[in-house]
Amino acid sequence: MTAMAPSRTEPDLSFLLDHTGHVLRTRMAAALAEIGLTARMHCVLVHALQEERTQIQLAEIGDMDKTTMVVTIDALEKAGLAERRPSRADRRARIVAVTDKGAQVAKRSQEIVDGVHRAALESLREEEAEMLVRALNLLATGHLGTPAEAPQAVRRARQRG
């Protein structure tokens, strides 16, 4: 005897958000790769330009572990886009300073990121796009703003190298 699968009573938000998020990330990765950046590199450049930030602060903003952050900054330094410097506020702390070349690349990468986002939203009617952004903002700052404590760590979707 075969058991019947339970019937779904609600839309599968997990699938919808995971799938669309994954596709958006792959499109972003492909677009940024054209100028030699990764999404993480873009994130570090843009946030390091906003104000003096330590590697730890940038890692938190970009949701990166320490090892990933070090590898990302190493790549930015190798490309001549950023450099590690002592903080003016705390000489023991290291900040990430963006070079002039890095600032130019960050400007271009932000245009690319904005273009990928714009293309996704333009695939919807204007009122649908506005409603989607409003609803996602409400979820991100409200009900789904803070991860729940789980007995076992929940892994994020793995990015293909």
CATH number, domain containing residue 107: 1.10.10.10
Domain hosting residue 137, numbered range: 39-141
Does residue 103 fall inside a structural domain?
yes
Nearest to 109 by CA among 56, 35, 13, 40: 35
Pick the more confident residue, 33 or 87: 33
Note the pLDDT tens digit of each residue in 24-40: 999 999 999 999 999 99
pLDDT at residue 159 greater than cutoff 70: no
Does residue 64 fall inside a structural domain?
yes
Does residue 154 fall inside a structural domain?
no
- Total number of domains constituting the chain: 1
Contact 120, 24 (CB under 8 A): yes
Residues 6+ apart with CB under 8 A from 21: 157
Does residue 57 fall inside a structural domain?
yes
- At 161, the pLDDT band (50, 70, 90 cuts) reads very low
Contact 134, 121 (CB under 8 A): no
Work out the average pLDDT over 8-27.
94
Contact 68, 37 (CB under 8 A): no
Does residue 158 fall inside a structural domain?
no
Does residue 106 fall inside a structural domain?
yes
Does residue 121 fall inside a structural domain?
yes
Question: What is the amino acid identity at position 33?
Answer: A
